[in-house]
Amino acid sequence: MPNVYDFDETIVYPNAGIEFIKFIMRRHPQLRLYLPRMGREAVHYRIFHKRPKPFKAEFYVFMRSLPEWEKEVELFWKIYAGSMLRPWYLERKQPDDIIISDSADFLLRPICERLGVRLVATRVNTATGRLIGPDCYGLEKLRRLREEFGEVEIEEFYSDSLYDEPLAKMAKRAWLVNRDELTPWPFS
């Protein structure tokens, strides 16, 4: 039975998507023209506390103008993987681990390959920056896990977000992650 992990703020310290965007905007200042569009959606999300598809749809809109995005993603992980990955995860990592995240698949695939683990993530069309299907979040994570791996039994589940309770309930043991502190999941 595999262990299943959320990614952002669970096994990495910051949100990888936001860090990647900051990295790209420093390296390609001409792409900053997309920031107002991305910012409007982020403000809407913060004000209304919803996760609308348009927010994620606009999150990677700069991808349509990013030359050689694969090299940029590789460089990002080459520079930041060592400082972002939490030591407690590296100590526990197993080859049958599954990372499940609402972050973009194109961004997480290289680090998951480097770690030798499997990935389920939000599908993003790198030519347009648009989502392919729903954001891999909340109940969608459970649906996508079953789509990819069938009726998998989860040994342990780790996440920083209570929105991941559907996966936590599937696991033999579940852990809520707060930075480097792991506490048993607070089931309701």
* Residue-wise pLDDT tens digits, 39-60: 776 676 556 555 545 556 678 8
Half-sphere exposure of 42 (CA within 13 A, CB side): 10
Query: Higher-confidence residue: 100 or 59?
Result: 100
pLDDT confidence of residue 46? 59
Q: What's the domain range around 10?
A: 4-184
| Verdict on whether the full-model pTM lies above 0.75 | yes
CATH number at residue 121: 3.40.50.1000
DSSP-based helix, strand, coil % in the chain, nearest 5 = 50, 20, 30
Q: How far apart are CA 106 and CA 41, in angstroms?
A: 21
Strand order in the sheet with 118-122: 118-122, 98-104, 4-5, 154-159, 171-178, 181-184
Q: How many domains does the chain have?
A: 1
